[in-house]
Amino acid sequence: MKEHSDRVPNKNIRLFAGKPLYHYIIKCLMKSEYIEKIVINTDSNHIAKDAQRQFESVQIIYRPEEIQGDFVSMNEIIAYDLGRLDGEHFLQTHSTNPLLRKETLNAAIEAYLGKE
């Protein structure tokens, strides 16, 4: 999660129905029985501190300067994270989908795992 956004200033922490936007996706991920660990990749001390205060189990990966900015491919960021995490399956999502429901998330994961 970037702190800076050109199109929508502070979009990840902008209040949506009284809470920072990114809180909704974190809560949705926490409800899924398929999600074992939630990791936030960020360049923002503000987001990192708020996430650690609000969601104790969330792991923070600080984005190094060389992969910060508006023109860095998300593939580079994902590759950076995967080089620091253990696991067999990974799900990547953005914080800008506050209306995602656990049922939709689980259905997608079940389809991926072949459990339809």
Map residue 81 onto helix, strand or coil.
helix
**14 — phi, psi (to 5°)?**
-65, 140
Chain-centre distance for alpha carbon 68: 16
Over the stretch 7-39, which tens digit does the pLDDT of each residue have?
888 889 999 999 999 999 999 999 999 999 999
Over the stretch 33-66, which tens digit does the pLDDT of each residue have?
999 999 999 999 999 999 999 999 999 999 999 9
- Domains by residue range for the chain, with CATH: 15-113 (3.90.550.10)
User: How many Cβ atoms sit within 10 Å of the Cβ of residue 106?
Assistant: 16
Closest CA to 99 of 25, 38, 13, 4: 25
Q: What is the pTM of this model?
A: 0.89
